[in-house]
Amino acid sequence: MRHTYRLNIACPDRVGIVAAVSQFLAQYGGWIVEANHHSDVSTNWFFMRQEIAADSVTVSLAELREKFALLAAEFNMEWTLLDAAVRKRVILMVSREAHCLTNLLYRWRSSEMYFDLACVISNHDDLRSYVEWHKVPFYHIPVTPERKPAAFAEIRRLFEDHAVDSIVLARYMQILPPDLCADFSGKIINIHHSFLPSFVGAKPYHQAAQRGVKLIGATCHYVTEELDAGPIIEQDVVRISHSHSIDDMIRLGADVETLVLAKGLRYHLEDRVLIHGNKTIVFSQ
């Protein structure tokens, strides 16, 4: 894999942004290997992601950042300029269902996806041995009604101690308290087992069976304080019929959940997702 830097920009739209940025990059030898733009017409906001071959740049990343800050100020840009070789630190949170966890651990250990796995947190102890075989720390933090505050204080400490960039609720099945959602805004990714906004909350497959829909789905989204209402990163569906029981739906849905979460997380880890209000711009390939 080529070593790259990733430059992400969001700013008010106007003529000359692309020219200024690409001229800036060319000035330092920057070879652009992937580029994406988007103009949001309703808000007149401009978004850009550039992936630049690191070895083509004639100055250090620190210096490039310093120089770019001047340009960014001129255009009122929110921006990041990240080294793709610096892996994001991730915590996985699970309950008892292992399909998403098994899949993400596979992608991690085979380097199919690049991230540092700080630890796995679960409200049950069931998956300890499987996780520990991977030499990944496993924390069992039960979340009972009475010890909820203590549990989430402990969880927060783990987030902070591990200095994580990203928390993945891989079918965690517990609702995070509002302060955690707020303090880690844009960093917590959830997989919800329905095609949102249909079937918010508990037992979405039962709700789907009740309504008699012909497709069921899954939604990967950023967690916000409002349940299942955060910016959507990725969704997909699978066809069902009257012949499928709720158990069949849970089974078929699990495969969709697994892929949608992996896809959404990959976009996030590769800095392909820009949050804009309650929506996302996803510069997927």
Determine, following the binding rule CB under 8 A, whether residue 280 of this chain makes contact with a copy of itself. yes
Among 95, 118, 164, 231, binds a copy of itself (CB under 8 A): 231
Is 228 annotated in the active site? Answer: yes
Determine, following the binding rule CB under 8 A, whether residue 248 of this chain makes contact with a copy of itself. yes
| Closest distance of CB 241 from a copy of itself, Å | 7
DSSP the chain: ---EEEEEEEEE--TTHHHHHHHHHHHTT-EEEEEEEEEETTTTEEEEEEEEEGGG-SS-HHHHHHHHHHHHHHTT-EEEEEETTSPPEEEEEE-S--HHHHHHHHHHHTTSS--EEEEEEESSSTTHHHHHHTT--EEE----TTTHHHHHHHHHHHHHHTT-SEEEESS--SPPPHHHHHHTTTTEEEEESS-TTSS-SS-HHHHHHHHT-SEEEEEEEE--SSTT-SPEEEEEEEE--TT--HHHHHHHHHHHHHHHHHHHHHHHHTT-EEEETTEEEE---
Determine, following the binding rule CB under 8 A, whether residue 15 of this chain makes contact with a copy of itself. yes
Closest to a copy of itself by CB, 165 vs 234, is 234
Determine, following the binding rule CB under 8 A, whether residue 16 of this chain makes contact with a copy of itself. yes
Stretch that binds a copy of itself, among 59-67, 78-86, 100-108, 145-153 (CB under 8 A): 100-108
Count CB-CB contacts under 10 A for residue 3.
11
Determine, following the binding rule CB under 8 A, whether residue 22 of this chain makes contact with a copy of itself. yes
* Catalytic-labelled residue, pool 228, 236, 247, 255: 228
Determine, following the binding rule CB under 8 A, whether residue 78 of this chain makes contact with a copy of itself. no
Among 77, 131, 196, 223, binds a copy of itself (CB under 8 A): 196
Determine, following the binding rule CB under 8 A, whether residue 204 of this chain makes contact with a copy of itself. no
Stretch that binds a copy of itself, among 82-90, 103-111, 142-150, 168-176 (CB under 8 A): 103-111
- Footprint of a copy of itself on this chain (CB under 8 A)? 15-16, 18-20, 22-23, 25-27, 29-35, 37-41, 56, 98-99, 102-103, 106, 110, 112, 130, 133, 195-199, 211-215, 217, 231-237, 241-245, 248, 251, 254-255, 259, 262, 278-282, 284-285
